[in-house]
Amino acid sequence: MDPITLLEQLIKIESDSEIARIQDFILDQLSDADLDSTGCIIARKEGDEPGPSLLLNTHMDVVSPHLEFERDGGRIKGRGAADAKGSLAAMMSAFSAVEPTAGSVELVISPDEETTQQGLYNYLSEGIDIDFAIVGEPTGLDVCPAARGHYDLLVTLTGESAHGATPESGVNATRCAAAAIARIERLPQLTDDLLGTNSFTPTIIRGGNRPNQVPDHAEFVVDYRTVPAESREEAISTIEQALDGIRCEYTVDLYENGSSLAAFKTDSSDPFVASFQSHTEAETGFTPAIKPFDAATEAAFFAPYAPVVVFGPGRISDGDQPIAHSAREFVPVADVENAAHVLTEYLTTQLD
C-alpha cells in the first residue's frame, strides 16, 4: 500500500463535516478493519508467539474548510495533509505491510479528534491492555513523549437588564465578562520542567441582545492549556476562584463542542520510547528530537495504560507561519514516506 497514493485519495475525501465516506474508504482499504459502535475504525493483527502489544492511533476527521488536493513538487497540499491524513496514510501503509509472528498490533482510527474526542474516549472506557502506543500527529518526525492538556471552558455570567440610559439600575453582564477576562489573564501560571507553563486564553465571546439595553447575559470560552499537575476539575476550579466576588452570578463548565484532553508525560528513558527514537534515527539518518508536542492530543487517553509517544509527518507550523489548520496546509512527501518506513520497520522488528 503506497502511502503517497493513499494520502492523495484520503485528502480528496472531505471529512471536515461528515466522516461516513472516509470511513467507507478506510474499511475498503483495510481487510482486517471493522467499524466500532463508537465511530472508531479498529484493525488488529496477532502473531502465534508471545510478544509486545503495540498500538497505532491517529484520526480521520479534519477541520473546516475543505482544501483541494494539490501536488507541488516535494509537497502535498490539502486539508488534513499535515493534521493528520499524512499520519493516517503512513500508519495504514505500515499496518498493511506487517505480519506479526509474535505479539500484536492494533490500529485505532479516531472519528472526532478535532472536536469532542468522544469516539476514542468511549472506545477506551473499559481500559486497554497494551505495552506501547504511537499516536500520529505532525511532529516533523520528532518523537514527542509529552503534551500539555486542553480544556475548553465555558464561562456564563448572569446580570440584570436595564435601560441603556440608566445603566446603574442594572448589572451589566458584558462588563462582568470584561472584568472576568482581566482577572483570568492575571492568574499565576504553573510550570512543568518539560512542558513549560499552563495558559488561559479567552476565545469565543457573546453577550447582549439590543444596543440600548444593559445585557443580563454574557458568556465566553477559555482555551485552558494544562500541565500534568492539573486535572480537569482543578482547571475549572482555577477559573471559578478567579471570578470569586465578581458582581454577576457565574458558572464555569466544559464547553459542549470543545476539547477535553488531559496533559500527559511519558518518561523519555522508557525502553519503548528509547528504542523507538533509536529506530527512527537508524531508519532516517537523522536524530529526532525528544520534545513535547505543541498541541493537545488523544495520546493522553492512552497514557494511563502504557508509555505513549506522538510521531508523524509534517508540522503544525514552520516558525511563525501556521501549517496545520491553515490555508497553506501541506506535508513533505519525504516525511510521509519516511514515517511509513519507520513504522513498518519498527513493527516488523518488535513483532518478529
Helices (H), 165-205: 173-185
Do residue 252 and residue 323 come from a single domain?
no
| 53 has a pLDDT exceeding 90 | yes
Question: What does DSSP assign to residue 161?
Answer: -
Same domain, 14 and 138: yes
pLDDT score of 157: 99
Listed residues 260, 281, 303: the one ending a domain: 260
| Average pLDDT score over residue span 2-26 | 98
Residue 26 pLDDT greater than 90, yes or no: yes
| Residues 82 and 204 placed together within one structural domain of the fold | no
Domain boundary among 260, 285, 301: 260
The mean per-residue pLDDT over the stretch 307-311 comes to 98
Q: Is 320's pLDDT higher than 90?
A: no
DSSP alpha helix (H) spans, the chain: 3-12, 20-29, 86-97, 118-123, 173-185, 232-242, 271-284, 299-302, 333-350
**What pTM was estimated for this model as a whole?**
0.93
Question: For residue 229, what pLDDT is reported?
Answer: 86
Statement to judge: residues 134 and 268 lie in one domain: yes
Read off the pLDDT of each residue in 172-189 and give the average, rounded to a whole number: 98
Q: Do 248 and 268 share a domain, yes or no?
A: no
Q: Which residue has the cell 465516506?
A: 21
Q: What is the mean pLDDT of residues 192-210?
A: 96
In a shared domain, residues 223 and 316: no
From CA 111, how far away is CA 123, in angstroms rounded?
Answer: 11
Instruction: Answer yes or no: is pLDDT of 161 > 90.
Output: yes
pLDDT in tens, 124-137: 999 999 999 999 99
Of 216, 238, 260, the residue that ends a domain is 260
Distances (CA, A) of 112 to 84, 120, 137, 194, 228: 12, 8, 14, 28, 23
List the domain range (segments joined by +) for residue 197.
149-260
19 and 155 fall within a common domain: no
Determine the Cα–Cα distance for residues 170 and 162; give it in Å rounded to an integer: 5
Count of beta carbons in the 10 Å neighbourhood of residue 347 = 23
Same-domain status, 82 and 101? yes
Residue-wise burial string across 211-246, b where 16 or more C-beta atoms lie within 10 A, e elsewhere:
eeebbbbbbbbbbbbbbbebebeebbebbeebbeee
Domain co-membership, 11 together with 125: yes
Across the chain, mean pLDDT equals 97
Q: How far apart are the C-alpha atoms of 275 and 5, rounded to whole Å?
A: 29
Amino acid at 229: A
If asked whether residues 91 and 101 sit together in one domain, one would say yes
pLDDT in the model for residue 345:
98
State the pLDDT at residue 35. 98
Do 240 and 183 fall into the same domain?
yes
Chain segment 55-82, per-residue pLDDT in tens: 999 999 999 999 999 999 999 999 999 9
Average pLDDT over residues 149-156: 98
Convert the pLDDT of each residue in 248-304 to its tens digit.
Answer: 999 999 999 899 999 999 999 999 999 999 999 999 999 999 999 999 999 999 999
Joined together, the cell numbers standing for residue 254 give: 466544559
pLDDT score, position 195:
96
- Is 319 a residue whose pLDDT tops 90? no
Beta strands in 47-168, from DSSP E residues, in sequence order:
49-59, 70-72, 75-77, 102-110, 132-135, 146-147, 149-158, 162-163
Say yes or no: 110 and 254 in one domain: no
Total of domains in the chain: 2
The arithmetic mean of pLDDT across residues 87-111, rounded, is 98
Percent of the chain with pLDDT over 70: 100
Residue 350, classed as helix, strand or coil, is helix
CB under 8 Å to 155, separation ≥6 — which residues? 177, 180, 219, 220, 221, 222, 239, 243, 250, 251, 252
The residue written with cell numbers 539518518 in the block is 285
Any idea what the CATH number is for the domain that residue 27 is in?
A: 3.40.630.10
